[in-house]
Chain A
Amino acid sequence: GAGVSQTPSNKVTEKGKYVELRCDPISGHTALYWYRQSLGQGPEFLIYFQGTGAADDSGLPNDRFFAVRPEGSVSTLKIQRTERGDSAVYLCASSSLAGVYNEQFFGPGTRLTVL
């Protein structure tokens, strides 16, 4: 079956602009996660959803970052007033349920470059 997909695969924007990154999880997966990998670092947690609600948004770096999952499937990560430091690969993952033993299935990521 189809895996996790993310669009766009690459996004180049200018400092100060608004961007939206989309994630399509595996059908039927109720948990959805966003991570960010900056150069030379491992992926860092941003937020996760259980169904439509954000169960943990403690990783969002500041109020310029926001994510939604209105129907419990597709999620959009929104970044306002982008800064050069936001340049990174943004990864989305989903799992059948949220749980420490449940495998998270990752998408290929969106590479965001802020000029």
Chain B
Amino acid sequence: ILNVEQSPQSLHVQEGDSTNFTCSFPSSNFYALHWYRWETAKSPEALFVMTLNGDEKKKGRISATLNTKEGYSYLYIKGSQPEDSATYLCASYSGAGSYQLTFGKGTKLSVIP
């Protein structure tokens, strides 16, 4: 059973602060890591699909890095804004012939104006 862990569980930051959080996953049989943002009352929105060790991806003020050898990914938000408040989920594939995503429990970010 794949185990995906995220930390911290929740985070409060002031508007304008930069922040980051972690996703840990098994490094063996790695295929891909997905990051999602889930705002309350909305659909989870895909941020990044990361596949290669050393990958760095960026979307506006949000960026992510990937280390498949040690089994972790970081998500960074530069200059947090209130609209960044959401739960950030990461998910990985077991790769055992199935395309099911295994999610972490998420990091709930609250940006205080």
Q: Which chain A residues have a beta carbon within 8 Å of chain B's beta carbons?
A: 3-4, 31, 33, 35, 40-45, 48, 55-56, 58-59, 91, 98-109
Contact = CB atoms under 8 A, between A and B. Distances in A.
A42 B4 contact: yes
Q: Size class of B's contact patch? A: 20 to 34
A107 B93 CA distance: 20
A99 B34 CA distance: 12
Contacts, number: 68
B100 A33 contact: yes
Interface of B: 4, 6, 31-32, 34, 36, 41-46, 49, 51, 89, 91, 93, 95, 98-106
B71 to A, nearest CB: 16
Given A42-B105, A45-B100, A101 B51 contact: yes
